Amino acid sequence: MPSQRCVFYSNQLRQDLKMTTLKAIKNAKNSIYLVMFGLSDPNVLDLIKKKANEGIEVKIFYDKRSSLNIDLPSSQITAISSKGLMHQKILVIDKKLVFLGSANMTTTSLLMHDNMMIGFFSPDIADFLIKKAPFYLGSKSSSVNGQQLDLYLLPDIQNKAFLKIKNLIKDAKKSIKITMFTLTHPKLVEELILAKQNGVDVEVAIDFSSSRGASKKAIDQLKKNFIPIYYNKGQQLRHHKYILIDDRILITGSANWTKSAFSKNFDCFVVLYNLDNAQKNFMTKLWKVIKLESFQK
């Protein structure tokens, strides 16, 4: 509802991300603006085609290497090929309702892999995304029903987005909880270690396959500094990309903590401040489930 603050969704809390997405698209009255790395779920595609046939304005951008050819007019769809990934995951409905997070619009990402999305009403942010995503960089600060939200579009040529995350980690007083698919950025790893050394309770949940591959060096460093690491047990990917600082500041979006995400990819994330009780309760429940569905070694 327009009067609500940001609403959080995760399939790990038995919420159906696919149904949430389909409902939002089905309720579109005027326009659908979609920027998506992976776009292949047949129900999502069929519904978008149906809405386009009903006269709804449709504009889609997707990464050419990660999706099948999509049967829509060329005026409505753009396949992007660039030196980095077009990795954003953004849905804007009727130029006012925004969804973004870690989930691609593939069947496995929406239903199987561990993901989180946030949804909120903001004509201000919606307008910025429609004008800027995916090709342009920059940031936008706004208020969603009194709650401050900072949005960053990557790559981060001016280093503002990276410094924002770095400084928020540096300012942490009590706790840092991170759930990430890929964690390789050495400077952010250093900041986590410094936070731990300064008495902050730092915990990291990582995708198990990534921990044995791309993220192995970073995870080994964190373990050497006595930071608890939690690995997912199942076959699903731990595809989250969020950090929760002092249980009151949430950073989430499409960006993994890699050099490529900040320097080369079209990616995005938001910083949401002063989480309210409903948002805090959601994040507490999600972290408990993540730990229950994890193992340590």
Structural domains in the chain, sorted by start? 7-136 (3.30.870.10), 154-295 (3.30.870.10)
- The residues near 242 (Cβ < 8 Å, ≥ 6 apart) are 102, 116, 178, 179, 180, 250, 251, 252
| CA 9 to each of CA 115, 126, 166, 272: distance values in angstroms, whole numbers, following the listed order | 8, 19, 26, 15
Cα torsion for 178, 7, 265, 58, to the nearest 10°? 160
Question: Would you call 136 exposed, middle or buried from its count of C-beta atoms within 10 A (0-12, 13-18, 19+)?
Answer: exposed
Strands 201-206 and 175-180: parallel
Give pLDDT tens digits for 129-170: 999 999 999 999 999 999 999 999 999 999 999 999 999 999
Q: Supply the pLDDT for residue 98.
A: 98
Q: Supply the pLDDT for residue 3.
A: 66
Q: Supply the pLDDT for residue 1.
A: 63
Type of residue found at 249: I
Say if pTM beats, i.e. exceeds, 0.95. yes
For residue 19, the tally of other CB atoms under 10 A from its CB is 13
- The DSSP 8-state label assigned to residue 182 in this structure reads -
For residue 28, the tally of other CB atoms under 10 A from its CB is 21
What are the mean pLDDT values of the chain's consecutive 10-residue runs (297 residues total)? 86 97 98 97 96 97 84 91 93 98 97 98 98 96 97 96 98 98 98 98 98 98 98 96 98 97 97 98 98 96
